[in-house]
Amino acid sequence: MATEVEHAADPHGGIDPNENYLLAGKGIWSWLSTLDHKRIGVMYLISVILAFFLGGMFALLIRLELLTPGRTIMGAATYNRVFTLHGAIMVFLFIIPSIPAAMGNFVLPIMLGAKDVAFPRLNLMSFYIYVIGAIFCLFSIVSGAVDTGWTFYTPYSTTSSSSVVSMTLGVFILGFSSILTGLNFIVTIHKLRAPGMHWRRLPLFVWGMYATSVIQVLATPVLAITLALLAMEKVLGLGIFDASLGGDPVLFQHFFWFYSHPAVYIMIVPGMAVVSELFATFSRRAVFGYFAIAMSSLGLALLGFLVWGHHMFTSGQSEFATMVFSGLTMLVAIPSGVKVFNWTATLYKGSIWLTTPMLYALSFLVLFTIGGLTGLFLGTLSVDIHLHDTYFVVAHFHYVMMGGTVMGFLGGLLYWWPKITGKLYNEPAAKVSWAFIFVGFNAVFIAQFIMGSRGMPRRYYDYVPEFRPYHAFSTYGSWVLAVGFFILAGVLVQSLLKGAKSPPNPWGSAGFEWNTSSPPIFSNFAETPVITRGPYDYHEATEEELFDGFPEDFKKTES
């Protein structure tokens, strides 16, 4: 097509495409108006870390209040708002955009050998939609907050006098950000793979992002219409979810979980995607069962749409429906198990390098397994009747969401930190922070497993004195966890200010994103790369070559 060129145009807006992306364009405006996927990824990263901090503060307040029975620091009405805000912020503002929008934006196009995502303007727009949605949520917090729980169940939400409408509008808007990011990634993965990057060579991170994007595109619109109906119910008294007007409150639960169960996989599949990369890099081995792991991500995406009813075993579904949903829920264990066993097999006879990212990946493996297996308890009908709405459920999904996704997020953050910032971080200090986080996390939630199995209901403000030791232990654990996060924040700030300059490939990874400089140049690669090998072909290079660059990468020939 070069022959059809009409006139020379500068495609880069006056920016040198070979300049380090952090220096290409100066001033705050060059960031706010950037179309560069790397800068948008960094802006997302900062946003989700702020959201995580805010949600974490609410978590600490919940634990502090529950340190003793009765009133500790706040009243019951405030407590309802605090746990709702913890959930809503962590789910909608942190965990859903965390790995896909922040890290996915940064590394996915580089892994594919592309210069950018397919629709850079749409990408920037999705970031601003996220910001607008976040503003609505913050407005809700300062204008009375929400006390319904993050699930906005009717009739709580329709009768609550708290600021439900602005929160649901905020979540509605955030949903579009999520949809547009997913759409962008699907098209990018289909259309912007470099020459030689066929589907069997896609890094597993990309496969995970692909599965996640499919869920984002297909599930999120259902949440949008549900929240639109809920807002209309509040404003017009629509009645669709109101039994006294002829509607059906359980319909809200069906609609809500038709999104929110797949959303669980929007949260966990990216975590799995990150640790798949970490296991390969730090075991110096090709991922065992590459194709099985790739397909199990798609399997989770599919099954995610078929199991929403397991949130509603006690909501008055028919017994037949609960049986079907219970059976389908058990199927989720298959792709999850495929992943866990293949990761374990990857470690076997690998030369394991225990860096902090690898410690997070191993934490993921252990904690996700606990979280996943306790999910089977809850999917079993008779057991769920006892455990429903207890702290057992809370501990289960925190083991998956925090033990899984957050561990993956932190592992990925440290793993790609040199790629993103061009700086190394203090490895021993990072290991200390990992130890605090790992121990603190388990202390918080193992106590909750035990008291949940003994009947402590979730979301309660007060409890009988028998539960006091467990609650106290859990609260002490939350302090250990908080210390771990503050040490980690210190490590990262220190790295930004005084960190040593990173070589292009500090981990000696065979991943394609390490083939470019760290931090990458504005256009990612000086020349469009030609991919001649898989992302985990550690057997094709010596240890020095891993750090200095694969010999194959210079031949540019297809074998």
Partner 1 sequence: MSSATTTEASHSPVEGGHGHGHGQHAPFLAHHFDTPAHQFDSAKLGMWIFIATEILMFGGLFVAYGLFRGQETEMFHQAHERLDKIMGAVNTVVLLFSSLTAALAVRQSQVGDRKGTTRWLIVTLLCACIFLVVKFFEYQHKFHDGLLPGHYFTAHLAEHAHNGHVLPYRAHMFFALYFMMTGLHGVHVLIGMGVLSWALKRNLDGKISSRYFTPIEIGALYWHLVDLVWIYLFPLLYLVG
Binding site for partner 1 (CB under 8 A): 1-12, 17-18, 114-120, 122, 179, 183-184, 186-187, 190-195, 217-222, 224-226, 228-229, 232-233, 236-240, 245-248, 251, 255, 258, 523, 526-528, 530
Closest approach of Cβ 527 to partner 1, in Å? 5
Closer of 464 and 526 to partner 1 (Cβ): 526
Closest CA to 110 of 528, 542, 539: 528
Closer of 28 and 236 to partner 1 (Cβ): 236
Closer of 4 and 319 to partner 1 (Cβ): 4
What does the DSSP assignment read for 513-544?
A: GGGS-SSPBTTBSSS-----S-TT-GGGS-HH
Q: What does the longest C-alpha to C-alpha distance in the chain come to? A: 81
Copy the structure tokens of residue 45. 């990263």
Closest approach of Cβ 238 to partner 1, in Å? 5
Closest approach of Cβ 54 to partner 1, in Å? 29
Closest CA to 525 of 10, 21, 2: 21
> In a 3-state reduction of DSSP, which class is residue 314?
coil
Give the separation between CA 270 and CA 457, rounded to whole angstroms: 30
Closest approach of Cβ 245 to partner 1, in Å? 7
Closest approach of Cβ 69 to partner 1, in Å? 42
Closest approach of Cβ 232 to partner 1, in Å? 7
Copy the structure tokens of residue 379. 């999917």
Long-range contacts of 541-546 (CB under 8 A, 24+ apart): 541/510, 543/508, 546/284, 546/505, 546/508, 546/509, 546/510
> In a 3-state reduction of DSSP, which class is residue 501?
strand
Closer of 96 and 114 to partner 1 (Cβ): 114
Are 429 and 435 in contact, with CB atoms under 8 Å apart?
Answer: no
Identify the helix (H) or strand (E) that includes residue 413: helix 407-421
Closer of 73 and 245 to partner 1 (Cβ): 245
Closest CA to 398 of 56, 51, 48: 56
Closest approach of Cβ 308 to partner 1, in Å? 12
Closer of 109 and 412 to partner 1 (Cβ): 109
Closer of 237 and 469 to partner 1 (Cβ): 237
Closer of 232 and 446 to partner 1 (Cβ): 232
Q: What is the DSSP letter of 100?
A: I
Closest CA to 283 of 339, 359, 350: 350
Closest approach of Cβ 183 to partner 1, in Å? 5
